[in-house]
Amino acid sequence: MNLSSHRILVADPIAAEGIERLRAEAEVDVATGLSAGQLIERIDGYDALVVRSETKVTSAVVDAGRRLKVIGRSGVGVDNIDLDAATFRGILVVNSPGGNTVAAAEHTMALIMALSRNVVQANISLRAGKWDRSRFTGVEVLNKTLGVVGLGRIGGEVARRAQGLMMRVIAYDPFLSPETARKRGIELLPLDEVLRRADYVTVHVPLTADTHHLIGERELALMRRDARLINVARGGIVDEEALGAALKNGHLAGAALDVFEHEPLAADSPLLSLPNVIVTPHLGASTREAQVSVAVEVAEEILLALRGDAVRNAVNLPPMPQEVLRRMRPHLLLAEKLGRLAGYLADSAASRLELRYSGEVAETNTALLTRAAIKGFLMPQLSEHVNLVNAQAIAVRRGVAIHEEKTSSTEGFASLISMRVVTQSGSRAVAGTLFGADPRIVGIDGYRVDFEPFGYMLIDNHLDKPGMIGQIGTILGNHHINIAGLHLGRASRGGIAVTVLSVDDPVPTEVLNMVRQVDGIEDLRFVDLTDDR
């Protein structure tokens, strides 16, 4: 896809290599230091926005960026971006979590060693003209226990480096399996147990509502009196007031902080007067290599997003490895087509969408498939932009409950996706599978059918009696509408049948009304499953 017509605004300083990568494919403007009002005035007309931590992307900025498709954060955290506002607008938010992994892990290890050997305090003392060796006797990290809170990219790299220093590593991570941790030589424990046992505790979790003040007064009281605390993750995870009190009364041996709840750290912060505290001004990602890496990484993510390709580091989409995503593409198309079909069949506002994954597809991460189905369902009903980013948020906001289940039962198919829509007047159900990589609809309201979900269609429920299809065909023919294919499903002779007529062109309302007048027609829907919607 040619991106030459796309415009990208870089609002914070990033490495020149990242800007060059963007300029290789799109038009790029660099305008740093903009005030909130200036950014709101300027953002309209840009397809992408690049920031670091300085610029605040508020809901007002999101609303003003009417062309925005993607917001990129050069770095890990996205707490300066209104994620809810961006998600509801369907704006993809990406970051570059891998680019500063080594830098943050190395800074963590530097702080651990500096705490252990009183490096900073001894340096200050010597520069003041003192030679006080006995005052700065340190401790070795050999055979000490490091407690890692969060074994993600950075936490995992810290653990590896600590093991290289012959430290024992224990960890708390509710999202990691004990088996995976064991393979890394790490014992997974509850948070309280990690705090009780560790000589050093290092924090590597994102800042969320759940992790705000994760390490507070109660948690600090659990730590050993000779323990040391390190935070190179996000300010606010550690309760700084409680930490200051614990250090002042001698409960902890020391602390090293690179991040703070309010940055820059105030000059009168009590932490600055404590001799057993090391502070650095948010330097975790501040290496030349990391700055280049995060800038290039976020540039690549933005270009992928603008091209409509799958991104690796979407913050407001379910995570899925690239290889898995490539394999899932046919199922994603199937899920969206099923949703579109269900959206046309539903005759009133939906209160519940039920997704059932059967067979091989049930063994995969289906979160993105569910979003694709919801997106498809909403598209025939809404004029606003719906995509994988905002589909679920829009559905929930409209009062639609989403239910997902998985089963090994496949009704004879290797994989089957079924979708049921519950409305005030009843429910409609569709089911589909893949023939090779091609999506096929194999069920409508329990009737077995078999057709490809593409193009224009007439789908009707009618009494199964001679001449029904002929009458419909005559009406269409008289109005120069060509039938491209016919698919019939019925439970028994003479009962209700489902007919799917593929047609070459849209069917006008007046023609639909004529078909509805045919004796025996119980329900008739025009369905648009073209790919250019």
Taking each continuous run of H as one helix and of E as one strand, the counts in the chain are: 17, 22
What pLDDT, in 10s, does the model give residues 453-508? 999 999 998 888 888 889 999 999 999 999 999 998 887 787 888 999 999 999 99
**If you average pLDDT over residues 203-224, what whole number do you get?**
93
**If you average pLDDT over residues 101-112, what whole number do you get?**
96
pLDDT at 462: 86
Main-chain phi, psi angles of 244, to 5 degrees: -60, -40
234 is catalytic: yes
Residue 3: Cβ within 10 Å count: 18
pLDDT at 533: 46
State how far the Cα of 305 lies from the Cα of 360, in Å rounded to an integer.
Answer: 29
**Confidence band for 409, pLDDT divided at 50, 70 and 90:** confident
> Tell me: domain 456-527, CATH 3.30.70.260, correct?
yes
140 is catalytic: no
Per the CB < 8 A criterion, the answer to whether 496 and 463 are in contact is: yes
Helices (H), 175-287: 178-183, 191-197, 217-222, 240-248
224 is catalytic: no
What pLDDT, in 10s, does the model give residues 171-180? 999 888 888 8
Q: Would the CA dihedral through 217, 220, 226, 232 be positive or negative? A: negative
Say which of 140, 217, 263, 384 is annotated catalytic: 263
Say which of 107, 204, 282, 487 is annotated catalytic: 282
Say which of 73, 234, 340, 440 is annotated catalytic: 234
CB-based contacts of 123, cutoff 8 Å, min separation 6: none
Per the CB < 8 A criterion, the answer to whether 255 and 229 are in contact is: yes
Per the CB < 8 A criterion, the answer to whether 115 and 136 are in contact is: no
- 78 three-state secondary structure: coil
Per the CB < 8 A criterion, the answer to whether 503 and 457 are in contact is: yes
Same fold, 7-98+289-307 and 101-279: yes
**If you average pLDDT over residues 422-443, what whole number do you get?**
93
What pLDDT, in 10s, does the model give residues 94-104? 999 888 899 99
Residue 440: Cβ within 10 Å count: 18
CATH code of 7-98+289-307, in short, is 3.40.50.720
Q: Where are the domains of the chain?
A: 7-98+289-307, 101-279, 318-454, 456-527
Task: Tell me: pLDDT of 532 over 60.
Answer: no
**Tokens at residue 344, please?**
């046309």
Main-chain phi, psi angles of 281, to 5 degrees: -85, 70
Per the CB < 8 A criterion, the answer to whether 54 and 12 are in contact is: yes
Which CATH architecture does the domain made up of 101-279 adopt?
3-Layer(aba) Sandwich (3.40)
State how far the Cα of 467 lies from the Cα of 490, in Å rounded to an integer.
Answer: 16
**Tokens at residue 394, please?**
């829009």
Cross-strand bridge partners of residue 181: none
What pLDDT, in 10s, does the model give residues 240-276? 999 999 999 999 999 999 999 999 999 999 999 999 9
- CB-facing half-sphere around the CA of 387: CA atoms within 13 A: 15
* CATH class given for the domain over 318-454: alpha beta
**Tokens at residue 490, please?**
């019925």
The single-letter DSSP state of residue 286 is: -
